[in-house]
Amino acid sequence: MQEFVFSPAPAGEKTNLSWRTWRLCGLTWEHPDNQSGGWIMARITYRDWPPYSPTDQNRRENTVVAARLMMNAALTAPNVGGLPMTEGEIVYGEEEQEQIARKMEEIAHEKQAWQHIFLYEAVMARQADSILLLGNTRAYSSPWNGECGLCAGRPDCSFVYENRTQKAGLIDTTDRRCDTLVQGPLCAMYAHQLGYNVGSALAVAVHLYVDARPFISIGTAAQKLGYCNNSAVVIGIAVNARAKCEPSDPAIDYHLVNLDRAIDAIRGNVNQLGVRPATGKEYRAGDPAKKR
């Protein structure tokens, strides 16, 4: 165990605790009062099994740190006109990710064309170690007015203004009713800006050695649940620190054939693995492994 020496407590300090715990840079340091000397770094163990165990939580928390740094990269990415327009949230936790995954499964059954995508990627949202959500806050509320023609091929922003409630160029954003995945029309220049934010975040992920993949499906479902509620369009980046990155090559019918479902199937058929049923012979009456 490596020892780190810090200044001792002030003379005369009294405490009823047998040891004191301090948080430094997210790590736990412990100093037993019955020892003389420095501070000792606590042991932090990492394993990816069983899910959500203390050792697995340690591993998952590393991806939250990575997601924070990826958020920095997204915020400092080049912006159109130098205007602030990036919004982000980090989603972390079994219940929070399950909520997003179920929303994706709900959306999947609204239209056949996108069903398999949302069903597959719902599993990925559920199994991610953490999720970074990135959104653009200007694409819906304030067009660029730069005569780029990206939204409809016209040499101005008239397409956006004609299809939105507005007065004197000020768009009314209070009507949030939407029967499509993304409410529009959007300013294509600002929507395009989100690609730079996502790209910058992914570049940092490479240097932090975490697996990261962007999903419009995760971002859309999260937005409908209230995440990044100031944004016009949201992208979700699944961040993982595992030996096997499932989103890279999922199995066919991945919403049915995945690790969680496989484990549950084994538990449901545990008797077939040689475990004796509860109604079987009492094992203390004789070794069931011995043939008579």
pLDDT-derived band of residue 26, with 50, 70 and 90 as boundaries? Answer: very low
Give ∠ CA 85-89-119 in degrees, rounded to 5. 110
pLDDT-derived band of residue 256, with 50, 70 and 90 as boundaries? Answer: confident
Decide if pLDDT at 198 tops 90: yes
Q: What is the mean pLDDT of residues 49-58?
A: 92
Decide if pLDDT at 249 tops 90: no
Tell me the one-letter amino acid at 115.
Q
Here the tokens at position 136 are 């653009």
Q: Residues of CATH 3.40.109.10 domain(s) within the chain?
A: 54-265
- Say what the pTM is: 0.79
Tell me the one-letter amino acid at 60.
R
Domain 54-265 has CATH 3.40.109.10: yes
- Pairing relationship of beta strands 130-136 and 86-91 according to DSSP bridges: antiparallel
CA distance 127 to 123: 6
- Pairing relationship of beta strands 211-215 and 39-41 according to DSSP bridges: unpaired
Residue with more model confidence, 257 or 285: 257
Q: What is the mean pLDDT of residues 222-247?
A: 92
Give phi and psi for 276, each to the nearest 5: -75, 140
Three-state secondary structure call for residue 214: strand
CA distance 45 to 118: 35
Decide if pLDDT at 39 tops 60: no
What's the pLDDT tens digit per position in 259-271? Answer: 888 888 887 776 6
Residue 86's alpha-carbon distances to 96, 143, 286, in angstroms, are 22, 15, 69
Give ∠ CA 205-196-244 in degrees, rounded to 5. 30
Q: Using CB atoms within 10 A of its CB, is residue 248 exposed (0-12), middle (13-18) or buried (19+)?
A: exposed
User: What's residue 159's pLDDT?
Assistant: 78
pLDDT-derived band of residue 38, with 50, 70 and 90 as boundaries? Answer: low
Here the tokens at position 268 are 């449901």
